[in-house]
Chains A and B, each alone.
Chain A
């Protein structure tokens, strides 16, 4: 790292222009993610936003971080989100209940978080010039290569890394404890399943009237009329038309309802791991 004297502040090289453009696109995708009324579209715009972040990492030569970003966030977290959406509502078209009442609070939190992060980065680096192509300290590869990242992570930052993994382990155990179903009180596990990351999903109010009418192919309801009962294979969940929900989520809100036979996606608890 050297001072930026002579390098100019934001000298408009091709990489920097690309960085800014991708940043604008990422920001736009993120804004659409939180403003769109179509839940599945929100998840897909999130893919664009997270992918844009990965491209930004690439432009900063942090290749390893970029691929891990794609692997974890696009490949696992968004898949988990889509899985949760399809398992609960499977909405197509606008969801009138997708709006949150505390949008202004959310906006304030977002702005505060953004201000904090920008301030931290600006204050930490000020006018230092980081040459991304050259080696940082004797390594032959670029500053963002896997080797350099690994050395930093496991030489200088081992303790925080391990602490984080313990935290994740605690979260994992907590998710398993919360989603266990062998307790007497069926309300206790409500909303704590692995798919509960979405707002506005309240067990019990998702009757047939809460959706978007006939465009909502909710699992198990009689939307397609005659076709549903025909799939009476033993493992197809369609015949459970009265339940109106699939059994995998760990939220038995109907007290006294028998545990569903042969759950199609049984091992729900371990899914939060990718976070």
Chain B
């Protein structure tokens, strides 16, 4: 299985990322998260724990590969300063069939949300606020147990 984990400040294009990893796969499922512009958010600052963030994502990819037969997984997560509409995260899973691709994509996203070492801070004008973790995200991850 081909695995790619990238944490970067630069924006990413979907085309080249997905093109390469889906070669020869019967199915490709992707999730892309974007910065919402709601409530007057002007900037989203993303901070991470270098080293731990990558390790945690790698651990969940290993778990997913034990549950489903996968051909490739790519996870890209941006950090630094993002504006509304920009892509924050990509989880892409290549497999032979759609069912395992969909399931693994959702599994990875649920676990990334609840355990990967990233933190978001919203900025509105001169006001900043750290985003609080949501119980609904914890519950989403728990259903895979």
- To the question of whether A and B form a pair in one complex, the answer is no
What is A's interface to B at a CB cutoff of 8 Å?
none
A-binding residues in B (CB < 8 A): none
